[in-house]
């Protein structure tokens, strides 16, 4: 299993994973990626756990730079729901490690700590 940064080429598979996940929300869909970029210009880091060609988990993140709050990594800013969606424990753990990596670089990380569905 590997973690990659998703690009628009994974959009259809990403959205299918979200729609089929019991905790998926409209904010997890790739349309939110476009909305946040166009509206606020925040840099996206959409993390994707893959096993072979199958998505096993996602973690949508955005980097927000604020004079008041500093460097923040947030899962789905301005959204009611966010965080990790995973269909296995290994995928969930790898995505948690990815979020912790951002924190180790000095960014404040916001991510879900729910267990995979």
> pLDDT (tens digit, 9 = 90+) per residue, 39-87?
666 777 888 999 998 999 998 887 767 677 666 776 765 655 677 899 9
82 in a structural domain: yes
Check residue 81 and give its pLDDT: 65
% residues pLDDT > 90 (the chain): 26
Number of structural domains, the chain? 1
104 in a structural domain: yes
115 in a structural domain: no
Q: Is pLDDT larger for residue 55 or for residue 112?
A: 55
67 in a structural domain: yes
Contact 51, 1 (CB under 8 A): yes
pTM for the structure as a whole: 0.77
55 in a structural domain: yes
63 in a structural domain: yes
Of the pLDDT bands very low, low, confident and very high (cuts 50, 70, 90), residue 90 is very high
Check residue 107 and give its pLDDT: 56
Contact 93, 105 (CB under 8 A): no
Of the pLDDT bands very low, low, confident and very high (cuts 50, 70, 90), residue 108 is low
pLDDT in tens, 25-44: 888 888 877 776 776 667 77
Check residue 31 and give its pLDDT: 81
State which residues form the domain around 44.
Answer: 2-110
> What CATH number should be reported for the domain holding residue 81?
3.40.630.30
Check residue 115 and give its pLDDT: 47
**Number of Cβ atoms within 10 Å of the Cβ of 105:** 9
Cα distance between residue 37 and residue 43, in whole Å: 7
Tokens of 25: 């929300």
Contact 18, 55 (CB under 8 A): no
116 in a structural domain: no
47 in a structural domain: yes
């Amino acid at each position: 299993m590997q973690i990659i940064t998703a690009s628009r080429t994974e959009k259809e598979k990403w959205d299918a994973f979200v729609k089929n996940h019991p905790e998926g929300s409209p904010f997890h869909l790739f349309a939110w990626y476009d909305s946040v970029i166009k509206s606020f210009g925040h840099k996206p880091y959409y993390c994707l756990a893959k096993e072979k060609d199958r998505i096993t988990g996602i973690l949508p993140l955005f980097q927000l730079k604020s004079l008041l709050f500093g460097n923040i990594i947030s899962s789905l800013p301005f959204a009611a729901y966010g965080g990790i969606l995973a269909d296995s424990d290994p995928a969930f753990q790898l995505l948690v490690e990815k979020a912790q990596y951002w924190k180790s670089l000095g960014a404040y990380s916001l991510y879900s700590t729910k267990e995979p569905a």
